Amino acid sequence: MWDRTELRAEAPGKVALLEIKDLHVSYGHIAALRGINLDIDDGEIVTLIGANGAGKTTTLNAISGLVKPERGLVLLRGEDLTALAPHAVVTRGVVQVPEGRRVFARLTVFENLEMGGFTVRGSGEKRQRIEQVFSLFPRLRERRHQLAGTLSGGEQQMLAIGRALMAGPKLLLLDEPSMGLAPVLVDTIFDTIKQLHERGTTILLVEQNARMALQVADRGYVLQTGGMVLSGTVAELQANEMVRRAYLGIG
């Protein structure tokens, strides 16, 4: 029987906001993650780069409690999240914006934001957070009484991010935020990511557009077929021949 206590030994010094240790996830007989390790410090943007099927979304889902690992640890400031249910992970401050946005189509923009603030107890605090979202995304204020399913793709992505921000995340997980958006809207979403970074939000970003991801991130990891093959600062990854050839279209 695997004993998670074997992985708990900590090196002296600073504890990262998030640590993933020796994480293994399988779907049936198919190994999706094979012993990956990752860490994120407060205030960083860290990006996960990799082809379709590399394990990027599985990594986010394992952090969020949506899939359970066969072995390994997910630690938030040293607290083990690995066995927690997804709603309990959210209450700890880890909030995911899923691939494909997945807004509540039959609820209004305002109602979607209220759903995102289910962990907020005071009505005054909830109203304040909604105002903060509207300040970040003025378009959502204009559409606040509109059904979410009738919004454009870019507006739905804004709403999905805003809904996640309602929970006051310590760590925001963004899964393919630019997918299916027109180039001008991609720029808008990445400008928003930069603003959140400047406000101190810690972000783990999964993004097929590696060029854009590396423009906003501090550090990155490269996944291939469920294994971590490379990590480094943005400058190191941008200079790496494999990254340049496979993900940046250079060389």
Structure tokens at 69: 């690992």
Is 9's pLDDT higher than 50? no
Distances (CA, A) of 11 to 15, 35, 71, 139: 9, 19, 21, 46
Continuous H helices in 121-182: 123-136, 138-142, 153-165
Is 1's pLDDT higher than 80? no
Q: Would you state the pLDDT for residue 250? A: 85
Q: Choose between 120 and 142: higher pLDDT.
A: 142
- Residue 181 and residue 155 in contact, taking contact as beta carbons nearer than 8 Å: no
Q: What is the mean pLDDT of residues 17-31?
A: 96
Triad 111, 116, 117: Cα angle to 5°: 95
Residues ≥6 apart with Cβ < 8 Å to 157: 101, 177, 181, 185, 189
Structure tokens at 190: 């990445």
Q: Which of 29, 66, 21, 32 is nearest to 173 (CA)?
A: 66
Q: Would you state the pLDDT for residue 3? A: 37
Residues ≥6 apart with Cβ < 8 Å to 241: 251
Is 251's pLDDT higher than 70? no
CATH numbers and ranges of domains, the chain: 15-246 (3.40.50.300)
pTM of the model: 0.90
Q: Please name the helix (run of DSSP H) or strand (run of DSSP E) that holds residue 114, with its range, or none.
A: helix 109-116
3-class secondary structure, 173: strand
